[in-house]
Structure 1
Amino acid sequence: MRSVIIKLIESLGKFGLDKLERALIFGAILVTLLAFVTGSIQLNLSWASFFFRWLHVISGVMWIGLLWYFNFVQIPSMPKIPDEQKPAIGKVIAPTALFWFRWAALSTLVTGLIVATLQGYVVQALLLGLLKGGSTTYIGVGMWLGLIMAYNVWMIIWPNQKKALGLVEATDDEKKAAARIAMLTSRFNTALSIPMLYFMVAAQNAG
């Protein structure tokens, strides 16, 4: 079984799937074909709400995945990396990861608000369902935590990371201070991500 899968993957490599953009195009074509074949596409408001929820999930996976990559992998690994190799992280990997990180955060926020609007609960959710409990309160708590996290990404983490990585002019002391602020804020967002994900799931399953 494994050898068959490996041969299939190798054959797909002939179509240039070693390039990320082609893999993404292949994925988009595949989901479109499967959606039409299974009849899951229905051009109505309900399907539009589902479509934006799907985009919301994809964006959230990218956002939280990168948040956890920074906190579980990159930050703990930096002290173990020889000084001569650290510029590869700061000059190449980190800026690219931060690009996808911040835009995924914004996409998660926007698509989530679109879903809440299409479903008709955006106002009640932002009011936390007036704390009556149930799915509207749960999704509201998740939304507010997500809003705080997205604000932290754009207004604290990214401005300080630009200083820390030398993307904007800053003294050595300013870079050091900015790196610590960005790290602590990222840690704070990691902590918030745990209840945020809990309440997002609770809104669908514990209401």
Structure 2
Amino acid sequence: MTYLVTFDLLLRWTHFLAGIIWVGHNYANVIQRPNWRPLTSADLVNDQSPRFQALLNREHGVFRWASVVAWSAGMLMLWRYGALVGALTLHGAFVPIGIGAYIGTLMMCNVWFVLWPHQQKVLGFKPASVDERVRCARITHLSSRTNTMLSIPLLLFMAIGAHGGLVLR
């Protein structure tokens, strides 16, 4: 029985810390660089340009994998507590956490299926013309900002699900 309590605590902290890394990365981008603009063709023609090098030096893998860890830990917690089906079917008191789970799923899909494929072209990991890289830089910028904005209702619904779900019964 003690190992289950320990596992649940570890799972909750894993979800919490991975979520901070994932969402924190988006907030750091907005707060540290509120006037950031997507890369231009001048930035991408020269791989030694200061802006391009700054982009390469930032860590891109940690926040992507943090999304997977946070999402997986969240789904596992819902399953462990017997709330997964109720959350996914938006039933009763599980509606808020279910909406949060759907927003989190959308955000993770945005990272992996929109942001990352385009970011690979921007970074030169996949071949692309300069014009294509500029277009992709704009898409990654908007994709990242979208996740930042989605994280606000995500956190709200997670908090309501954990602390105010009984109000909806």
Q: Does the TM-score normalized on the shorter chain lie above 0.5?
A: yes
State whether structure 2 residue 83 is matched by structure 1 residue 118.
no
State whether structure 2 residue 92 is matched by structure 1 residue 92.
no
State whether structure 2 residue 99 is matched by structure 1 residue 137.
no
Deviations 1:123-166 (A, max 9, x none): 1101111xx3x3x1111011000000000000110111111121
Please say which structure displays the higher CA radius of gyration: 1
Deviates more, 1:42-51 or 1:59-68: 42-51
Structure 1 residue matching 2:13: 3-state secondary structure: helix
Higher RCO structure, 1 or 2 (CA under 8 Å, sep 6+): 2
Distance in 2 between residues matched to 1:178 and 1:117, nearest whole Å: 37
Distance in 2 between residues matched to 1:120 and 1:110, nearest whole Å: 15
TM-score of the pair, normalised by structure 1: 0.70
Superposition deviation, residue 183 in structure 1: 1.1
Contact 1:49 1:119 in 2 (8 A): no
The answer for the alignment partner of 1:178 in structure 2 is 136
Deviations 1:22-51 (A, max 9, x none): xxxxxxxxxxxxxxxxxxxx7243432222
Distance in 2 between residues matched to 1:71 and 1:50, nearest whole Å: 31
Distance in 1 between residues matched to 2:103 and 2:36, nearest whole Å: 28
State whether structure 2 residue 68 is matched by structure 1 residue 68.
no
State whether structure 2 residue 154 is matched by structure 1 residue 196.
yes
* Sequence identity (%): 33
The answer for the alignment partner of 2:10 in structure 1 is 51
Q: Amino acid of the residue matched to residue 73 of structure 1?
A: Q
Can you give the 5+ residue segments of structure 1 that lack an aligned partner in the other structure?
A: 1-41
The answer for the alignment partner of 1:166 in structure 2 is 124
Greater per-residue helix proportion:
1
Count of matched residue positions in the alignment of Structure 1 and Structure 2: 156
Distance in 1 between residues matched to 2:31 and 2:118, nearest whole Å: 20
Distance 1:74 1:165, change over 3 A: farther
State whether structure 2 residue 111 is matched by structure 1 residue 148.
no
Contact 1:71 1:186 in 2 (8 A): no
Superposition deviation, residue 76 in structure 1: 2.7
Can you give the 5+ residue segments of structure 2 that lack an aligned partner in the other structure?
A: 44-48
Give 2:70's match in structure 1, choosing from 78, 88, 108: 108
- Extract structure 1 runs of 4+ deviating beyond 4 A: none
Superposition deviation, residue 73 in structure 1: 2.1
The answer for the alignment partner of 1:187 in structure 2 is 145
